[in-house]
């Protein structure tokens, strides 16, 4: 196993989170590719874990915390670390130490770039990006928002702990319409998948449904809302992780549509 920097050879599979075999991931569209092109020269770092055949089995992506969903200074923030674990496609690469190796290389890289610490988000339940996994690698909790912990590892004694940037406003409904609002950053295909499913459902249902897109990759827009990726139906947030199926999203919109069309008694 080797840890390498992202090369053009692996760029497309990286933009598909190593799941180029998946029809579902392609539903997410080209948002990740577009996001990568905007950020690749402004601090984004990507490393891959490659086996002896040259197959990438894992990846980590991180950037200056000033460009992340957290507030801090002089730190790097891990957007995600992912080891392919599906039997489909390239196969299961778990339990080979790829995640640990990727994290160690990213930390070493951040130190070399002058970072005073590393931060990451972790889920407090035993799912993907587990907070407990980061804790085993020397991270501690700096903040929490719901089930999502903000973990960090200081490299310097005077490093300041990061904080979550919290939601600052949410979209409002509009009389006589069903307003579906998607906040989209583009870094995560899973979130882009939810966004595109909602867009498709709104289009198929038609009036009075309207779809509104808010691009939070624009930093001032993100800071205005305090949310990176989210889906709302008339101001009510729809849980987007794990990504709900298209049919479920469409049913939620249709139920709201029915209420809007029903005459008041």
* DSSP string over 207-221: TTEEEEEEETTSHHH
Cis peptide before 242 (omega within 30 of 0): yes
Q: Give the integer Cα–Cα distance in Å for 247 and 251.
A: 6
Same domain, 185 and 153: no
Report yes or no: 121 and 149 within 8 Å, Cβ to Cβ: yes
> Is residue 158, in this structure, part of any structural domain at all?
yes
Q: What is the DSSP letter of 130?
A: B
Q: What is the pLDDT of residue 127?
A: 73
Q: Is residue 169 part of a domain?
A: no
Helical spans, DSSP H, in 20-94: 23-26, 31-39
**Which range marks the domain in which residue 48 is found?**
2-164
Q: Please name which of 212, 244, 215, 247 lies closest in space to residue 229, comparing C-alpha atoms.
A: 215
Asked whether residue 114 falls in the same domain as residue 190, the answer is no
Q: Is the Cα torsion angle 121, 248, 30, 9 positive or negative in sign?
A: positive
Same domain, 84 and 30: yes
Q: What per-residue confidence (pLDDT) applies to 51?
A: 92
Q: Is there a single domain that holds both residue 128 and residue 61? A: yes
DSSP code of 170?
-
Taken in order 215, 217, 220, 224, is the CA torsion positive or negative? positive
* Domains held by the chain: number: 2
Distance CA 60, CA 84 (A): 12
Residue 170: CB atoms within 10 A of its CB come to 15
- Say whether both 133 and 233 belong to one domain: no
Report residue 138: phi and psi, to 5°. 90, 10
List C-alpha distances in Å: 234 to 88, 123, 147, 243: 38, 27, 24, 19
Residue finishing a domain among 164, 187, 215: 164
Question: For residue 173, is it within any domain?
Answer: no
Give the CA dihedral 135, 151, 103, 89, nearest 10 degrees. Answer: 90
Q: Which CATH number covers residue 185?
A: 3.40.30.10
- Considering the domain architecture, whether residues 74 and 104 belong to the same structural domain is answered as yes
CB 198 within 8 A of CB 254: no
142, 198: one domain: no
Non-local CB neighbours of 86 within 8 Å, separated by 6+ positions: 19, 92
Per-residue confidence of the chain (265 residues) as pLDDT tens digits? 999 999 999 999 999 999 999 999 999 999 999 999 999 999 999 999 999 998 999 999 999 999 999 999 999 999 999 999 988 888 899 989 999 999 999 999 999 999 999 999 999 887 789 999 999 999 999 999 999 999 999 999 999 999 999 999 999 988 999 999 999 999 999 999 999 999 999 999 999 999 999 999 999 999 999 999 999 999 999 999 889 999 999 999 999 999 887 655 4
């Amino acid at each position: 196993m080797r840890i390498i920097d992202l090369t053009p050879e692996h760029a497309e599979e990286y933009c598909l989170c190593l799941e180029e075999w998946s029809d579902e991931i392609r539903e997410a569209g080209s948002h990740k590719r577009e996001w990568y092109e905007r950020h690749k020269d402004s601090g984004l770092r990507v490393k891959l874990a490659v086996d002896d055949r040259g197959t990438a089995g894992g990846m980590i992506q991180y950037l200056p915390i000033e460009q992340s969903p957290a507030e801090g200074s002089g730190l790097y923030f891990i957007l995600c670390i992912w080891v392919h674990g599906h039997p489909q496609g390239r196969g299961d690469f778990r339990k080979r130490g790829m995640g640990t190796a990727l994290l160690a290389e990213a930390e070493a890289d951040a130190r070399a770039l002058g970072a005073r610490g590393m931060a990451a988000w972790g889920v407090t339940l035993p799912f993907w990006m587990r907070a407990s996994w980061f804790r085993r690698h020397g991270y501690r909790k700096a903040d929490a928002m719901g089930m999502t912990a903000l973990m960090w590892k200081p490299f310097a004694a005077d490093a300041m702990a990061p904080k979550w940037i919290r939601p600052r406003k949410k979209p409002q409904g509009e009389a006589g319409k069903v307003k579906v609002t998607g906040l989209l950053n583009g870094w995560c295909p899973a979130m882009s998948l939810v966004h595109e499913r909602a867009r498709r459902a709104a289009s198929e249902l038609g009036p009075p449904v309207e779809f509104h897109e808010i691009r939070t990759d624009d930093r001032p827009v993100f800071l205005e809302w305090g949310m990176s990726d989210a889906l709302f139906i008339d101001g009510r947030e729809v849980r987007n992780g794990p990504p709900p199926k298209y049919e479920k999203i469409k049913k939620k919109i249709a139920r709201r549509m029915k209420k809007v069309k029903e005459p008041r008694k």
